[in-house]
Structure 1
């Protein structure tokens, strides 16, 4: 122990309180100065002078590092209790891992169905539909609404009806939006409101996340839950699967004569080609049937006393349910927003890029892919290094990336814009894994119910950013302010996470 830390621990509480107050005041001053620098630089840049942008960025970065350095001087607790961790039994390891594998595949399918509209909307106007920018952004954002709201009951039913029955049922009913969407997009005369209705119904697929996570967490001991939930979170790969596969399957009659009539799509060159937009939805129907059967015959209900839905809603009285929802609103919301809106952002913002706008469906899938890959790494790192620390790193990178994005929106800036997007999505995936490690740590008895609430409110984080981006594009001509607002929100999340889950004297540090 250093002489400074030894003297600090032996000091009178009044002196340490004074030191703490002084450091907090300095931190508030640093944050205020950063906000002032941000506002001044944005006003200057929007006025046409971008020379100040990078100097201001480096000054703000130095202030941030100075604030992080000040945290070292905060007083430590007088005594750090030694916690003896007992080895938890893991008697049904084989069944647990089999359940995890089936759950991961089924969750990937659910995300593919949930995000099929993000790939469909890019092709609608070229195929004879007539929708404005606002309507297109609403079609990509609306599936998040029902997918978010239903996550609460979808998380609760596992404890009430059993993991196998619940998960098989919610997987099977995804056939409904697939059939409805496939029929709706076959006719360019279909009204916008019908399209919006089926876009909303598609949200039931997004709610499967809560059932899947609640089922997996039952089978694994606490020391492995971060890793298990992280691996299950690889189901987010369904977003990339949808965005990569939809452009391929709409090019031919997958089901032969049963595929229906094609639409005529106009290419940039003026040429036309036949497309089967309905395949973007119909392609998932046989996979849904297979996954439902795998869940029913390959998994079991976890042995536990059924809980009433009302008893599980008590988690709403726990402040950590809402704090974790706030954090997940950022990390998962960023993942959803990037996956849903990035194709349209690329198409609208970089339309004047040298050589024309980049192909949205060639670049957009990589953002959710990197986020998905990083999710199990976040869960594993949270198990090994602490969930609070990993979450802090993830949120810090997201805040830095949000401020940086506002500087890379010129037509020639696409390579840097895409690089920063990838950095933000990697951090979001890392944060998704670490936040879910915190849940069973702070509330092990009702983890399923907490997962439902947290994933519900977190998914709403994917609803508002596309609308904010669309509004900024339509009224301001640039999404810069939307990215700045997201960065400021990330800074508030950083403070909350530090106070409750990373601060050394916090009773819920993890």
Structure 2
């Protein structure tokens, strides 16, 4: 069968594929046809998936660039408050969530390959701005907020990548494919949180890498990721394809906003992906606030966040394709419901560990200012501070295990929730007529395009959780940052209970159409 305008001989079992003409456009694509899939579709889909993962991975790394660098700014000479640092962590998530809508609509308009090239090149902007301004401690805070906002370009990459890959795979393989694509992207969070401290000269790798004697050099990370972004754009240009079958007008895509399930799934995705990205962004600062004290750069006590901050994103990323696989096998709604049960149990456990922490005495702002000005005047940690920090450090393993359990649940929920969307729209198409009829075929073709649009809208709304979670942790209306953290986990637990109820009511309630379809 022909995969492009240029006829190419294909036979079942072969993997050769002539490079498509016309700037990478493929005009004929039928992944639901078993013969087409085995002879033509599978190798092309896999190749596009690989390079989509690469670009999305770098996008996530840039998106979460500030999640770990914000916690290192004090060592680089910046005097921002914990509330200000949480804003630097949160703003990229807000911008990234808003960009996901136009990024989704860009795929049918410009092509998945073409937009991957553009979106990868856009990452050069936040990385070079980061590299320039982290060398200037006198830069006003509002400038850093603007720079952090540009990192949101990386958050938009997820929506366009998922919308593109959704077209390449048949329905029974979408869960695993979308799960792998998303997991590869999500892993970018863990990679940036693990390697950035090492790259810039800080300690890392559980203490195996010692801090550089020359101090923190944050700009290295910006320059490195600018180069990697260009590399991803070149790879996308050389190895990816656009699908003519994915083409549609923005008006056709926006039509999905009238479906009730678009907004139900968007709400649930706030609970799954919003939690993953929000917790990933906030975890470095959470560990630093609750388990670490360093009044001057040369003196510290407690748990060093750079050793552990990446673990949450790593666990959540690994769990995501597993959630897609489980959803393919048992149904996305059942797996999503189980994920919310696990998240409720996990957040309650995290809250309990935080209630066991001792209050660490905090020196007055005047003393902190004097020690910062003259580090030699720092008298050392008082016995009360040492005792409290040591006690809290003993609790940290329980806090970490509980938090990693939550991350695993969010990853599974991410994979299963995204698998639900193509299944929901396939159920819509099934009502158009008997299998094999023309109305049914037309409805199924339409449902694939609509499902991709929904993936983008759901991803955009869900990512807002990445903004709300750090802001809730900073809670400017709560004077004590530790108390604000505990209150936030109570709020999150209540929200997950609501998400659980919504999942059951819409997708698992006996007798409902979606429950019968095993969405």
TM-score normalised to structure 2 length? 0.76
Instruction: Please list, as runs of the form range in 1=range in 2, the aligned pairs for 1:45-194 lying within 5 A after superposition.
Output: 90=37, 91-194=40-143
In the TM superposition, residue 288 of structure 1 has moved relative to its aligned partner by: 1.0
8 A contact 2:103–2:160 mirrored in 1 = yes
8 A contact 1:346–1:357 mirrored in 2 = no
Determine the structure 2 residue equivalent to 1:371.
316
In the TM superposition, residue 365 of structure 1 has moved relative to its aligned partner by: 0.2
SS of 1:356's equivalent?
A: strand
TM-score normalised to structure 1 length? 0.77
Aligned with 1:328 (options 256, 269, 273): 269
- Distance in 1 (CA, whole Å) between partners of 2:35 and 2:455 is 22
Determine the structure 2 residue equivalent to 1:416.
398
- Distance in 2 (CA, whole Å) between partners of 1:142 and 1:400 is 29
- Distance in 1 (CA, whole Å) between partners of 2:290 and 2:199 is 27
8 A contact 2:100–2:159 mirrored in 1 = yes
SS of 1:275's equivalent?
A: coil
8 A contact 2:292–2:304 mirrored in 1 = no
In the TM superposition, residue 89 of structure 1 has moved relative to its aligned partner by: 5.3
C-alpha offsets along residues 19-74 of structure 1, whole Å, 9 cap, x if unaligned? xxxxxxxxxxxxxxxxxxxxxxxxxxxxxxxxxxxxxxxxxxxxxxxxxxxxxxxx
Determine the structure 2 residue equivalent to 1:507.
513
C-alpha offsets along residues 195-242 of structure 1, whole Å, 9 cap, x if unaligned? 111100110111100010011111000000000000101221100110
Unaligned runs of 5+ in 1: 1-84, 253-269
Instruction: Please list, as runs of the form range in 1=range in 2, the aligned pairs for 1:276-295 lying within 5 A after superposition.
Output: 276-295=217-236
C-alpha change, 1:300 and 1:470, in structure 2 (3 Å) is: same
C-alpha offsets along residues 90-127 of structure 1, whole Å, 9 cap, x if unaligned? 24110000001111111111111111111111111122
- Distance in 1 (CA, whole Å) between partners of 2:269 and 2:263 is 10
Runs of 4+ in 1 over 3 A off after TM superposition: 85-89, 270-273
8 A contact 2:199–2:220 mirrored in 1 = yes
8 A contact 1:350–1:357 mirrored in 2 = yes
Residue 459 of structure 1 pairs with residue 463 of structure 2: yes
SS of 1:293's equivalent?
A: helix
C-alpha change, 1:86 and 1:250, in structure 2 (3 Å) is: closer
In the TM superposition, residue 273 of structure 1 has moved relative to its aligned partner by: 3.3
C-alpha offsets along residues 415-438 of structure 1, whole Å, 9 cap, x if unaligned? 111111000000000000000001
Instruction: Please list, as runs of the form range in 1=range in 2, the aligned pairs for 1:103-502 lying within 5 A after superposition.
Output: 103-234=52-183, 235-251=185-201, 273-304=214-245, 306-351=247-292, 356-409=301-354, 410=357, 411=392, 412-443=394-425, 444-445=447-448, 446-471=450-475, 474-476=478-480, 477-478=482-483, 479-502=485-508
In the TM superposition, residue 351 of structure 1 has moved relative to its aligned partner by: 3.1
8 A contact 1:147–1:207 mirrored in 2 = yes
Between the two proteins, the alignment pairs up a number of residues equal to: 409
Unaligned runs of 5+ in 2: 1-31, 203-210, 295-299, 358-391, 426-446
In the TM superposition, residue 306 of structure 1 has moved relative to its aligned partner by: 2.9
8 A contact 2:265–2:417 mirrored in 1 = yes
